[in-house]
Each structure stands twice: as C-alpha cells, then as structure tokens.
Amino acid sequence: MEKVAVIGSNSFSGAHFVDHLLENTDYKVIGISRSPESNSIFLPYKGKEGFKFFQENINDDLSNIVNILRKEDVKKVVNFAAQGMVGQSWDNPEHWFRTNCLGIANLTNKLRKIKSFEKYVQISTPEVYGSCNEIDENTSYNPSTPYASSKAAGDMFIQNLVKQFNFPANFVRSTNVYGPCQQLFRIIPRTIIYAKLGKKLQLQGGGKAIKSYLHVKDDCSGILKILEDTNKGEVYHLSPDSGISINNLVRKISNKIGKDFDDFSEIVDERKGQDKEYILNSSKARERFNWRPKVDFDKGIEQCVKWVDKNWDVIKTLPLEYIHKE
C-alpha cells in the first residue's frame, strides 16, 4: 500500500492532515516530528490504524529521516516542519533560517537524489508576500520579518531544484488556518481560554490587522489535491472568500461565549513587521481542482469553543504562551 510521509506531523495542520489521509484515502502514513507525540487532545488521528511515528529532526537527524523514507518505501512527502512564529522570529532569526531555509535545502536536496521519489509538497506561507490583498501566485516576494524571509529563501531553493533537476515539488500557501486542536497560544483558542479564565487579552495595535481564516479541514482537502497534482513547481493559494480584523474576530468570539469584549481585552503596541492585511486570490486551486472552502466560519468558531470546553480540565493545566525550541 502506498505511503505518504508527513514531516511535522505533530504540528496543528500536520496532525490534521495525517487524520485527513487516514480518514479519506488508502495511504498509510509515516509521521516525522522533532518532538514526541503531544497530548492526545491535539492529535485528531490518535488511535487510528495505518500510522507510524518517528521522532526525528530535519536539522539534526536528516540521514535518519532519509533512511526511514527509503526503508518504508515512501515516495511522497508533505512537509509542515518549520519555525512558525512570526513576531518571535526577531529574537533568534538564525533559528528560523536554520530550519526554514537550511534545513529545507538539505532535506529537498537529499530527496531529489532518490530515483523512485514522486512528489514533495512544501507548506509555505503568504507571509512571503508581505501585506497583501487579492494577490495571485505570481506576486513577487516582499517579506517583512525573519520568519517570512526564511520561508521565502527555502521556497526559492526548492524552485531551483524544480528548474534544474525537474524535482517534483509543489507549494501550498494558505491563509490563517484554524480549528479544533490548535496550539493554545494562537489567537482563536487563546481568546476563548482567556475569556473563560477572566484574563486580559492583549490586542496588538488594537487588532486592526485583517486576516482571512481557513478551517483546517478545508486546508487539508486542498493539500491532498495538491499532493496528487501531476504538475511540478506550481504554487497554490488556499483561502476563504473574505477577511476579518483581529478586533472583530475577538468580538465575534466574545459574543458567542457571552463575554463582554471590553472587560477582557486591552490594546498594546503593534508587533514589529505586522502586515496590515492577508487576503489571497485562490482561484487557481478552485478552478484546477474544483476546491472550495466548505466550513462556515461561525460554525468553525463554535467547533473551537466546544473543543476547549470538552478538554477544559486538561487545557487549564497547560502553558498558554508560546515556548520556543531551537
């Protein structure tokens, strides 16, 4: 039976993609992450058959990863592994470049030398464009943070491999992905948790930045179509039809859980490099794959609230802030 390796299988989107593959395809899945499998409340695939996990780091254990892929006869890889925080990338930018640029360059250069290898999907980011509104996949890079610059550099190297060696890679750039099981420091779960705890939620720059939120199930359905796409070197956007300011997002959540927005939110300075707007044109994926977002945003938020409520006894014992790992 054909196998897909999901690198970064412990990440929010990676774990959901593992679950999506197990639920909707005949693939067996090899999961690879630098950390051991996390608490089961963050792993929707937990307990399902057809999954095998390996704890390996693309920076330090690359030869082990390549050996695993060869031994398991894996011909397709989807890579979610990255240093993913934007604001924190200013503190140790070398850590972001080590993983998002050098680590990716080393990984893909090894993969392109495997003769039987068939497909690589790089989970990229619209951050490479800087602030953007209704842009398409041909827009030039204009990164404004170390995170964005490191991701752009990794993408450009992979594109070199496509041009020079016909490396079978595609790229996914999704807008802000959300849903149940997300890291607690992300804005949607953090808002729900802070409201329940009665803690003050800080809105950087007053929450004026506009983001567009894509449910993780819609993201996974698009990534699967891109994995099975026979084209090489293609970039695909996955996005909803509209955006919302962080301020209005927090108001929406507070209304749903019956909390007063003004009682638990406070305005603080904007973070460095915050882009004003993220709204992508995803017509390419919609036309080529007949892909469409299906999960209504309000229903998606309700799913997140229910997930927090269901797992509250565990969640309230866990750290709520981002903890950096090199």
* CATH assignment of the domain containing 134: 3.40.50.720
Q: Is residue 38 domain-shared with residue 160, that is, in the same domain?
A: yes
Domain count, the chain: 2
How many helices (H) and strands (E) the chain has is answered by: 12, 15
Q: Is residue 66 domain-shared with residue 189, that is, in the same domain?
A: no
Tokens matching residue 112: 């392109």
Backbone angles phi and psi of 177, in degrees to 5: -90, 135
Residue 83 inside a domain? The answer is: yes
Residue 91 inside a domain? The answer is: yes
CA of 167: how far to CAs of 52, 101, 107, 144, in Å?
26, 17, 12, 28
Question: Shortest CA distance to 257 belongs to which of 195, 321, 178, 175?
Answer: 195
Residue 248 inside a domain? The answer is: yes
Residue 222 inside a domain? The answer is: yes
- pLDDT (0 to 100) of residue 274: 66
Q: How many residues does the chain have?
A: 326
Q: Is residue 89 domain-shared with residue 195, that is, in the same domain?
A: no
Each residue's pLDDT, cut to its tens digit, for the chain (326 residues) gives 899 999 999 999 999 999 999 999 999 999 999 999 989 999 999 999 999 999 999 999 999 999 999 999 999 999 999 999 898 999 999 999 999 999 999 999 999 999 999 999 999 999 999 887 888 999 999 999 999 999 999 999 999 999 999 999 999 999 999 999 999 999 999 999 999 998 888 888 878 888 999 999 999 999 999 999 999 999 999 999 889 999 999 999 999 988 888 887 888 877 666 667 778 999 999 999 999 999 999 999 999 999 999 999 999 999 989 888 87
Q: What is the SS3 assignment for 146?
A: helix
Residue 279 inside a domain? The answer is: no
Q: Is residue 83 domain-shared with residue 110, that is, in the same domain?
A: yes
Q: Is residue 263 domain-shared with residue 305, that is, in the same domain?
A: yes
Residue 283 inside a domain? The answer is: no
- pLDDT (0 to 100) of residue 4: 98
Where residue 204 sits, what CATH number does that domain have? 3.90.25.10
Q: Is residue 55 domain-shared with residue 142, that is, in the same domain?
A: yes
Q: Is residue 232 domain-shared with residue 104, that is, in the same domain?
A: yes
Q: Which range of residues forms the domain containing residue 302?
A: 183-212+243-273+297-315
Residue 148 inside a domain? The answer is: yes
Q: Is residue 261 domain-shared with residue 146, that is, in the same domain?
A: no
Q: Is residue 143 domain-shared with residue 167, that is, in the same domain?
A: yes
Please, which residues bridge with residue 30 across strands? 5, 52
Residue 63 inside a domain? The answer is: yes
- pLDDT (0 to 100) of residue 275: 63
Q: Is residue 168 domain-shared with residue 230, that is, in the same domain?
A: yes
Q: Is residue 206 domain-shared with residue 57, that is, in the same domain?
A: no
Which residues, in sequence order, are CB contacts of 28 under 8 Å at separation 6+? Answer: 1, 2, 3, 4, 50, 51, 52
Q: Is residue 187 domain-shared with residue 218, that is, in the same domain?
A: no
